[in-house]
Amino acid sequence: MKFAKLFTLLAAISLLASLFLPLTSAFAATDTLLPTAYVTTSGGSGGQPVSNLHVQDQSGTQDDWNKYVEFTTPSTSYAGYRKYTLPAGISPASITGIQVKANYRGPVKSTQTWSWKIYNWTTSAWVNLGDNAAAQSWKWSLLTFNATGTLANYVKSDTREIRIRVQSNNAVDNALLDYEALVITSSDGSTSTPTAVPATATFTPTPTLPGPTATFTPVTPTNTPLPATNTPEPGVCSRFVAANGSDNNDGLTINTPWKTVQKAANSAQPGDIVCVRGGTYNEKVTINVSGTAGAYITFQSYPGETAVLDGTGITVPADDNGMIFVQDKAYLVIKGFELRNYKTSTKSRVPIGIRLVGTAHHIEIRDNVLHHIEHNGTAKNGTDAHGIAIHGTSGTTALSNIIVDSNELYSLKLGSSEALVLNGNVANWQVTNNTIHDVNNIGIDIIGFEDTAPANDQARDGLVAYNDVYNINSAGNVAYGNERSAGCIYVDGGTRVTIEYNKAHNCNIGVEIASEHQGTATSYVTVRNNFIYGNTDAGISMGGYDTQRGSTENCVIVNNTLYNNATINGAWGAELYIQYDTRNNTIKNNIFFAKSGLPYIQSWSAVMTNNVMNNNLFFGGASWQWKNVSYSTFAAYQSGSGNDTNSLNGLDPLFVGASSGNLHLLSASQAIDAGQNLTESGSLDIDGETRTQNVIDLGADEVR
């Protein structure tokens, strides 16, 4: 976030004082921090996005569900916290004040006490700040609380996280928050740095898949919030697994744990939170139980510990189900595990870390670390692996309502497969806040038309947001030889997908939207508000890679910042690489900062219909190609292609720190207020800030 600062000058109280008393601190800085996430540990929530807490726009008895977050007490008291990040420019030791502001609507204290607390990382304890004593019954009331004590202790030393908790004392009623913020006063007068806000959204499906249209009609999925997941504290665990336990135990207490995770996966009941103690478990796990809509079953590492599923020595079977496998089960959470060392060299065996298949639904995969899932064979074919694989295999019932959030995947040998894939009849899902790096094929892949399902064989209605995907290169992969073709994020035959707020960098291709199967289309994909940089061959690629492939149709590419892609001399691509058969696509409000002497656009196929390019900025490069005609000047390109009539050329967009991937705009940038206001651009920029102040800025960053 780019936070506003208010500076107050300490005036000398008298001429005499100014002669004898030096001013040791002329300025105090005040920063307003907004929450980056909220976590529910007891009770529930309405699932609205955290951005609903960023603007105070409810008053009196207003009740706009889309503008607040509801904290619920379905059968138990509510407890949960919001995460804040102290900007890098502020030293914790310099903090002189922490004030919490919360716009609250709910019951009065005599009916239900709602308390605010701040977490002390030094003592591992919550410190009371105040409660709803000053609130009016079910009227919006702005409450303020001031932290006391050693304020630096409320900042986590490594991540700079600050946590603010709210909790109820009973389950009588619910509460709403329209706004919560931290006002940080510090003595060093430093400048805030951007903080990303994670997305919490899923999509409502359209009953039938749209086909190609004669004229361009952009379609963006409609955001509807997913519920937050309970993240239990140690005392909330209801079942236990430990390496020194016994499967003959009841698993009900920390002193009578089961020994294997598989025992828990056979025995847990709806509402159970299975906590697996830290240690190494040399086993594969098939989850054979389901929760219910009101009572998920959670399998997770015990809080503060890490349970490791280690595949060392385990044979990968002919039809691998994965180290954690879920088929046709529902209402499950898989959280906080490390999965590693699951490998094979046997041709056509496919090691997988976590796999969902069939008609599974309402599954959440959160906060796991997967690495060294590998196929080490030497053949070109049959040497595949996946980190996380989600396969919808029914022709009638979608595998649906899936959350894949805040996982890390790295050091995977994938062959011709992908680190994280959704393939087949998969609908209503979100892939958010994941870090995927140092793998030898595609990072995130959304796939259709591979005969994974006999009908409805198209992953759809999904969100790919706030992911950081990098260091992905297929060169040296036995399936590709020296070919560089691995994308950070790829939609291959999917439809109605939004790709936003991601960093896609140092891969072969940043973002690709195409269909590999003749007669099929990747369609209705929105790519917006992403940083795409340092990729070896192309920033954004679209269309079939040869004339025997499918098409890219009715897609929107808006407000992305592309920098220094096609980094390798002799690379085959460009910042924007347009291939075979593209129809009815719009490309606007983007920044294309090309490497010196290289093309901004390569467009080798004349097979395209009604693609629109305008309101973009070009800088650094040397040429444009459109329908296989090359242009060495911007004027010739405009005249010959009919594109980019209102675009800018030759103006440095002035990035804050391009060499380090900081593609935010400096205040003097001519990309500011130079775009076209489009609903397709969304309401927030890459930092979660309001998208338009007056006229929208070009690129992913909106300067305030």
Pull the structure tokens for residue 71: 């904290």
Q: Is the pLDDT of residue 203 over 70?
A: no
Residue-range domain boundaries for the chain: 5-186, 304-681
Percent of the chain with pLDDT over 90: 77
Query: E strands of 493-632, at which residues?
Result: 495-500, 503-505, 509-514, 521-528, 531-533, 538-542, 551-553, 556-558, 561-563, 576-578, 582-583, 586-588, 591-593, 599-603, 608-609, 612-614, 617-619, 623-626, 629-631
pLDDT digits 0-9 by tens, 540-585? 999 998 899 999 999 999 999 999 998 886 678 899 999 999 999 9
Q: Is the pLDDT of residue 462 over 80?
A: yes
Mean pLDDT of 152-162: 92
For residue 288, the one-letter residue type is N
Phi-psi region of 384 (alpha: psi -120 to 50; beta: other; left: phi over 0): beta
Residues in contact with 381: Cβ distance below 8 Å, sequence separation at least 6, in sequence order = 347, 416, 479
Q: Is the pLDDT of residue 205 over 90?
A: no
Quick one: pLDDT at residue 610?
95
pLDDT digits 0-9 by tens, 12-66? 323 223 323 333 333 357 788 999 999 888 888 888 889 899 988 888 888 888 8
State whether residue 15 is helix, strand or coil.
Answer: helix
Class at the top of the CATH hierarchy for domain 304-681: mainly beta
Mean pLDDT of 387-407: 97
Q: Which residues in 556-576 are b (16+ Cβ under 10 Å) and which e?
A: bbbbbbbbbbbeeeebbbbbb
pLDDT digits 0-9 by tens, 227-272? 444 444 555 899 999 999 999 999 999 999 999 999 999 999 999 9
Answer for the pair 359, 325: CB distance below 8 angstroms, yes or no. no
pLDDT digits 0-9 by tens, 125-134? 899 999 999 8
Answer for the pair 88, 2: CB distance below 8 angstroms, yes or no. no
Q: Which residues in 320-350 are b (16+ Cβ under 10 Å) and which e?
A: bbbbbbbbebbbbbbbbbbbbbbbbebeebb
pLDDT digits 0-9 by tens, 467-495? 999 999 999 999 999 999 999 999 999 99
* Bridge partners (DSSP) listed for residue 409: 370, 436
Query: E strands of 570-645, at which residues?
Result: 576-578, 582-583, 586-588, 591-593, 599-603, 608-609, 612-614, 617-619, 623-626, 629-631
Pull the structure tokens for residue 522: 């990747």
Q: Is the pLDDT of residue 6 over 70?
A: no
Q: Is the pLDDT of residue 374 over 60?
A: yes
For residue 113, the one-letter residue type is T
Mean pLDDT of 500-525: 96
The structural architecture, per CATH, of the domain 5-186 is Sandwich (2.60)
Quick one: pLDDT at residue 42?
83
pLDDT digits 0-9 by tens, 74-96? 878 898 999 999 988 899 999 99
For residue 349, the one-letter residue type is R
Global pTM value: 0.71
Task: Give one DSSP letter per residue of 184-221, joined into a string.
Answer: EEESS-------------EEPPPSS-----SS-----P
